[in-house]
Structure 1
Amino acid sequence: MLPLPPNSIVGRVAAGVILASFLSWMQNPAKASPPNLVVIIADDLGYGETGMMGNAEIPTPAIDALARSGVRCTSGYVTSSYCSPSRAGFLSGRYQSRFGYDLNPTGERNHHPNAGLPPEQSTFVQHLQAAGYQTSLIGKWHLGTRPPQLPTAKGFDRFFGFLHEGHFYVPGPPFENVWTMLRDRSLAAGQFQTNGNTIRGNYARINEPAYDANNPVLQDSQPLDEWKYLTDTITEQAVETISQSASSPFATVVSYNAVHSPMQATLEDHESARHIQDPQRRIFAGMLIALDRGVGRILETLDHHHLRQDTLVIFFSDNGGPTAELTSSNAPLRGGKGSLYEGGVRIPMVWSMPGVIPADAEEQTPVLSLDIAATFLPMALNDSPPNNLDGINVLPWIGRDTPPSARPLWWRMPRGARALRQGKWKFVQARKDQPIELFDLESDLSESEDLSASHPDRLQELLAVWESMQTDMPPAKTLQ
């Protein structure tokens, strides 16, 4: 079903009914059950990969159904194009640069004192925990490994998952019951070798990292030696957690590592993608199929416990997709993971809460991952959110034809990378030694035409806004 035109009579009436319902709910919180929150995070999922974004190659029926039940945000954004700082922004509700966290630790650097959320930086989940919510983090953390930084120290009653940036999807080697594709620089450039269900190839800049080194799968604090295919295991744990929490207000973050490398798909999911000939793309498709199945099972669980109308469900990717190791598509956007072009920071995003958020709608106004904290805390606590949050409450306008005035979206990343969007205009400086480019996203979504020379005054306006916000940010931390 296509979204209703936002200015049609039917669209305005439907939006008006839901807006009135939302305002009534907010004005009479005592008459309503405290709302629940389920945030589903995909990892490195490209903007153009799902059916809801027009891609029919890989079936994503559950994600598409979630989009039909709510608002598909075609201008959904995160605060970094790398995993760790993006997740730090989401959970703190603040630009992560406000506490100097622009970096993305990998491997052993996850144990560096500067890696992860600073011990003094709180999360919005801690406010929910203090208010009596049952809180859980299932899946990938990537926000520190020292005791003051662990999920259970940052507001989560329960944690199942791993602490680093990635993890193999099954125990091994040998990797059983999966198709695996590994980067191997010992081979000649462009060479591939297949041994059973494992493909090795020199097709990217690095060897496959030792993701599991000093990075066990944890049940709270206890390492597990055995688990099923990790995407399915995360789903099982999320379903169990939601079922156990169904009788009380809960906030559950389901933090998948799919479709992040390493590339591993179950034999069944690989077989269901047999229409795809390219072996790399086929394994990726199997990984996405498993992720979509997980989304479907979570929604089925909410329906089984009659919780959909009481639960705000948000789906988004922590950044845009890389291409060399995953094939993940950001079409029609430019750039990808690690970039401040749209392909790095504009991501697939859905907000759904039947009766409060319009169904089968599209929102073109930018929605930021920081808005999750700023939106849900007033719903849950019947009070204003902390005044240090950088997001805004989107419920009064999301999916309707009354968006707020354009706000600046601000980015700072390592090596002098920076960007700012306000309204239709965006500047990007890819590195400190690179030129500053200006784009009109309304007419040039792929950021192909640099307008800095023809609109110098507009560029200076955006730069002044960026510099004004930069004055509030401390220097970026390093892992040196």
Structure 2
Amino acid sequence: MASIKLCSLFLTLCLTTNMLHAADQPNIIVLLADDLGYGELGCQGNPQIPTPHIDSIAENGIRFTQAYVTAPNCSPSRAGLLTGKIPTRFGYEFNPIGARNEDPGTGLPPAEQTLAELLHDQGYTTGLIGKWHLGGAADYHPYRHGFDEFFGFVHEGHYFVPPPYQGVTTMLRRKTLPGRSQGRWVSDNLIYSTHMGHNEPDYDANNPIIRGGQPVVETEYLTDAFTREAVSFIDRHQDKPFFLYLAYNAVHSPLQGKVKDMQRFKQIKDVQRRIFAAMLVSLDDSVGKILKQLSKSQLDQKTLVIFLSDNGGPTRELTSSNLPLRGGKGSMNEGGLRVPFLMRWTGTLKRQQTFPHPISSMDIFSTSAVLAGAKVPPNQDGRDLMPYLLKQKTGSPHEEFFWRQGNRAALRKGNWKIVNHRGHRKEPAWELFNIADDLSEKQNLALQQAEKLNELKSRWNELNAQMKPALFR
């Protein structure tokens, strides 16, 4: 009898200790928008498209004005976010599209620890809802990278509503219009446009919506479907610490806006811009539902919420604005690499703050690791932001950032930045900018500040020597 009581007491102590530890572990939600321009949110200065729910994250937390991602396009940017490393450190340099997503060897290397894996080993329940784009072959399934649940797709894009496109206005890129003409062709809620000079990618080819490991038929507008699944995930796991990576494919092409959302923007004359506005406001409504579920579940003070975009917006493709920055998706200028980044943790982070120092999406890994009670793995490029946000440290978490993608490259060190756009030229053509004085990168100082240019080029070469060759292209 005594031994039974001792065992019972020991079990009670263990359970109590685990419960206390779990109570100290905040839930972590990463809301990732796709191809959202730097200047498109209300809190970023856009008066045309209201985004009150996304803006509320900044209003009730922190807006970062110098937040960067690790690549100017989708896949390597996500690799950097989830590993906390510059993706070229492990050869993840390029952005696979179409059938390349399914190639063996094209994906996030299994040896790289993801944030989901780290948090899973700290007792978190982990979920990915939305876009993966880190490998479509079996070796790279989200289940094999630390996620307990997965609902979404694995390629770079997906239609929000499949043909016959019911309930939406759809605008698709075409090389040639009916009658072999150019421009725009409009029929009811379907528009063809030749403005990009190529056809709409085959996003849905061999790219089903998947629940776990099995294809499913999804009938809701995809942004709404992802939100439905996210609300369910929060509701089902509210009794334990969880990590939710909600990677929306909005506002990535194809351009498809719900008719009821299109009607909210009748004042916008350009139908392409009107569809984009409808897609963005649908995303904002969805973020509102996520925040409402947290409040309903009384999880506001237990949950760190982070909102960001994976890269800058492709302006010609979507009408997205990256103002006041130069360039957009695919560019090593600020418009391709600097993104909206908002963070809220009710009761812990003060409201209506602006953080002016450079940070990176890689910092999400280290910040989350420390909050979960884990040791930050060695050789991480990200930093734990909490000491800076809680005023325990001053200054900037980062002194420099490195980027490389084929013949395009950049380095920011302090307020100085070099950019190489050599394209098909054999020799680099470096430009030099002072970001503090010239946010829009209009004044190339390469000739006037040759010594500074050489200093940054030398540093870029030093860092480049640490990087691995591309695993795939």
TM-score bracket for this pair, using the shorter chain length:
over 0.9
Question: Quick check: 234-243 or 124-133, which moved more?
Answer: 124-133
- Residue by residue over 1:155-196, the C-alpha shift from the partner in whole angstroms, topping out at 9 and shown as x without a partner, is 00000000000000013x111010000001112675211111
What is the rounded CA distance, in whole Å, between the counterparts of 2:140 and 2:95 in structure 1?
Answer: 15
What displacement does 1:464 show?
2.0
**2:444 corresponds to which residue?**
450
What displacement does 1:31 show?
9.6
3-state SS, counterpart of residue 449 of structure 1 = coil
**2:419 corresponds to which residue?**
428
Is this contact kept in 2: 1:375–1:394, CA < 8 A? yes
1:440 aligns with 2:434: yes
What displacement does 1:206 show?
1.7
Is this contact kept in 2: 1:189–1:203, CA < 8 A? no
What is the rounded CA distance, in whole Å, between the counterparts of 1:73 and 1:190 in structure 2?
Answer: 42
3-state SS, counterpart of residue 36 of structure 2 = coil
What is the rounded CA distance, in whole Å, between the counterparts of 2:137 and 2:351 in structure 1?
Answer: 42
**1:305 corresponds to which residue?**
297
**1:17 corresponds to which residue?**
none
What is the rounded CA distance, in whole Å, between the counterparts of 1:280 and 1:392 in structure 2?
Answer: 39
3-state SS, counterpart of residue 324 of structure 1 = helix
Is this contact kept in 1: 2:128–2:142, CA < 8 A? yes
What is the rounded CA distance, in whole Å, between the counterparts of 1:54 and 1:186 in structure 2?
Answer: 36
What displacement does 1:86 show?
0.2
Question: Quick check: 31-40 or 218-227, which moved more?
Answer: 31-40
- Residue by residue over 1:260-279, the C-alpha shift from the partner in whole angstroms, topping out at 9 and shown as x without a partner, is 00000111111111121110
**1:281 corresponds to which residue?**
273
Is this contact kept in 2: 1:40–1:256, CA < 8 A? yes
- Name which of 451, 454, 458 aligns with 1:464: 458
**1:476 corresponds to which residue?**
470
**2:357 corresponds to which residue?**
365
What is the rounded CA distance, in whole Å, between the counterparts of 2:128 and 2:456 in structure 1?
Answer: 37
- Name which of 21, 31, 45 aligns with 2:36: 45
What displacement does 1:83 show?
0.1
**2:236 corresponds to which residue?**
244
- Residue by residue over 1:63-113, the C-alpha shift from the partner in whole angstroms, topping out at 9 and shown as x without a partner, is 111111111011111000010000011011111101111111111010122
Aligned partner letter, 1:472: Q
Q: How many residues align?
A: 448
3-state SS, counterpart of residue 325 of structure 1 = helix
1:68 aligns with 2:59: yes
- Name which of 103, 106, 112 aligns with 1:121: 112
| TM-score for the superposition, normalised by structure 2 | 0.92
1:348 aligns with 2:348: no
What is the rounded CA distance, in whole Å, between the counterparts of 1:459 and 1:239 in structure 2?
Answer: 50
**2:185 corresponds to which residue?**
193
Aligned partner letter, 2:461: E
**Structure 1 spans left out of the alignment, 5+ residues:** 1-28
Where has structure 1 moved over 4 Å in runs of 4 or more? 29-32
Is this contact kept in 1: 2:33–2:308, CA < 8 A? yes
Is this contact kept in 2: 1:335–1:342, CA < 8 A? yes
3-state SS, counterpart of residue 256 of structure 2 = strand
Is this contact kept in 2: 1:361–1:399, CA < 8 A? no
**1:175 corresponds to which residue?**
165
Percent of residue pairs identical: 46
Is this contact kept in 2: 1:363–1:399, CA < 8 A? no
**1:155 corresponds to which residue?**
146
What displacement does 1:405 show?
6.4
**2:15 corresponds to which residue?**
none
**2:258 corresponds to which residue?**
266
What displacement does 1:431 show?
2.6
| TM-score for the superposition, normalised by structure 1 | 0.91
Q: Computing the radius of gyration over CA atoms, which structure comes out larger, 1 or 2? A: 2
- Name which of 107, 116, 122 aligns with 2:98: 107
What is the rounded CA distance, in whole Å, between the counterparts of 2:365 and 2:349 in structure 1?
Answer: 16
RMSD: 1.5
Describe the shift of the 1:410–1:189 C-alpha distance in structure 2 as closer, same or farther (beyond 3 A): farther
What is the rounded CA distance, in whole Å, between the counterparts of 2:471 and 2:37 in structure 1?
Answer: 28
1:410 aligns with 2:416: no
What displacement does 1:357 show?
2.0
**2:4 corresponds to which residue?**
none
